[in-house]
Structure 1
Amino acid sequence: MMFIDKAKIYVKGGDGGDGLVAFRREKYVPEGGPAGGDGGHGGDVIFRVDEGLRTLVDFRYQKHFKAQRGEKGRNKSRHGANADDMIVRVPPGTIVVDDDTQEVIADLTRHGQEVVIAKGGRGGRGNTRFATANNTAPSIAENGEEGQERWVILELKVMADVGLVGFPSVGKSTLLSVVSGAQPKIGAYHFTTLTPNLGVVDVGDGRSFVMADLPGLIEGAHEGVGLGHEFLRHVERTRLIIHVVDMGATEGRDPFDDWVKINEELKLYNAKLEERPQIIAANKMDIPEAQKLLEQFKERLTEIGLDIPVYPISAVSRAGVQELMYKAMDLLEAIPEAPVVEEVTELEERKVYRLETEEDEFTVRRDNDVFIIESPGIEKLVKRTNFSTHESVMRFARILRKKGIDKALRDRGAKDGQTIRIGDFEFEFVEQE
């Protein structure tokens, strides 16, 4: 059984630097030509697979990733510097999904694999690039393009490193909820947990592991009684078992007998589970009788010649819980990685597709007296145009005319002086003579 760890984050490529309007000012060159350089490109946001990572826990603390913008163009026709890309490390097995379109952008599996998730904007062209035979000293420069921005969902198929086992109602769900961000449904009745709850435990020193609170177990599970096989299949895949025992005997059962019975069920299902490393979490130590029962428990362990670490804890008050998590992490680091058994999930059945937009297409619609032009290409052009110079404005008007937008506006009934809107930009329609 695979579990899905999820995170939602915002990524934005860096904006491109603006192009520069500049002219040569040299002593013996009275008519200096254009000398404004192009702006630098904005940085990309790139996801890179790092096999040292196992969970998405880092994305709980940082949810916004913005690359730097490019430098502005410089004089003497020099380019502004391109911005550095932003590298975001993700664990192998991460699937990246666009939050708006639900498009699968990338499936990252190999160590070192990289994919651009948000592209940086191109730098604007400086006035050097607009010189022609007819206009040898243009005052035109473009603004840098905006970087791509999007919300993405990261989904990671993970194997649980640690399985919590124990009789129903011994406090497994409570323990999981206090050590991780998981919010299992908790109730004071048997079989509250019918499906595994997954939690990512951040130990607090830069290390993390995945813990699963597995469904409660009863005798006969190895024969498929109750949730038997379902439960045992999950345990089989974990590398470490934390066996939670109700040391307060709140349901009138003997804690040691509980521990023996569950171990017996594990062994009957798969003999290898008997050799799986185990820690005993003696829970509900805040109950008065618990200390006495804990001593008896340890004595009986010694009698049968077993040296298993026992950690007294109270999941409710969190006493002893941090020490238990450190011990689990240390043991995991000493245990070799188990081979991951792939299972088909709904993630693999999704289609990967790309959204193509035709940049030259446009539509014109009317909203009362305002004519609205909708076109990704024209909206980009507006953002790149520096409207503070007459030449840039005239160039913009020429491009609209060439694309057939003037004619489309006239056909829709646009008259001299009426308002035209493209994105956030508005201007007056001027009928050409």
Structure 2
Amino acid sequence: MTPTGQTLAATSLLRFATAGSVDDGKSTLVGRLLHDSKSVLTDQLEAVEAASLRRGQQTPDLALLTDGLRAEREQGITIDVAYRYFATPARRFILADTPGHVQYTRNMVTGASTAQLAVVLVDARNGVVEQTRRHAAVAALLRVPHVVLAVNKMDLVDYAEPAFAAIAEEFTAYAASLGVPDITAIPISALAGDNVVTPSAHMDWYGGPTVLEHLETVPVGEDPSAQPARFPVQYVIRPQTSDHPDYRGYAGRIAAGVLRVGDEVTVLPSGGRSVITGIDALGEPVKAAWAPQSVTVLLADDLDISRGDLIAPAAEPPSITQDVEGTVCHLHERPLKVGDRVLLKHATRTVKAIVKALPYRIDLTAGLAHVADPGQLDVNDIGGITVRTAEPLPLDAYQDSRLTGSFLLIDPADGSTLTAGMAGEAFAGPAAAAGADQEGWDF
């Protein structure tokens, strides 16, 4: 509930990502979901039907609804993240269909960074494979609060309950050991449409929801007042007009929590203090605003505030540090090495930094074993890092805030994104499995 007692509008929107090994049927599932929920435009469906006929297929290849790159269509694989927007009477959705190949693991990090739910597909004939574990680990690393295990191609194992039960048990145990707080297993056939939008007539032993039913009903709302407020400043507004000669506002999007007129706040990293005297939302003054609203905040004092500063409650500020420790996923083809000089982007602030240490690399194929002192992180590697910044940063732990606890490392020479980072411990673990739905990186 919001501070005014009304349900947040954001609870009607679910961001989710699909992942799975190669040929497990992710794009077919997404296509079936869009098709059976009547979310495909007529001209799109006609184009898919025509393309399928040219390839000698008598039925539409629904995977073509998401595999939009020419290379994807020619090879029959997903290479880049495909975003789709659709809605049902119950909820609106933003979907990220991520690739399955090992070399495209970094694309899943991008697609799942803002996800509130991840759908991990498994081929019922193959069970849990290495890439399944990798995707579960990435979902846990990114603190995705809800994971759906979709055991696909049940039609190829005669819709047998024991085949589904064995896979569900193995995956659930593994994901729970990583600290995934909510795991739901659903047996499906994306090609035939079983349990995707409509219940299957072939699996009367299954009494749970279909994929769409679960997506429509999974709880994704949160009480914003349960978290300390975080407001990264994006822009300083000074119109200097005759109507508003002394107006000085600080514009941005609230990353977490609630801001109220009268709150005592601190501006970081400078440490200056003031009181909120006004909040403008959509051009109108309001008494309170909450994440993820975009607002303009007015303060009682003329402090030196600019883009990149963070406004937070004076009683609950984040930690200030120049030594950033966390876990990263390396995204660039060029390796990341100790001593590399980089730019670190945190919320709206970008500072110079140097990589001081790479203490370990996580081996996702060996039960999350740590390889000590790897020397460098290659593309798709996940490991620990210590970065020394030229200026202090107000940093939360990633498990507390997916926005103010995340950061990017950027190449200062050409501006390309090198690494995505999460401050603090890599995985929640079973004891810390309770998570919160928050916004993630804006890539």
TM-score range, shorter chain: 0.3 to 0.5
Q: TM-score, normalised by structure 2?
A: 0.33
* Greater strand proportion: 2
Q: TM-score, normalised by structure 1?
A: 0.34
Higher Cα Rg, which structure: 1
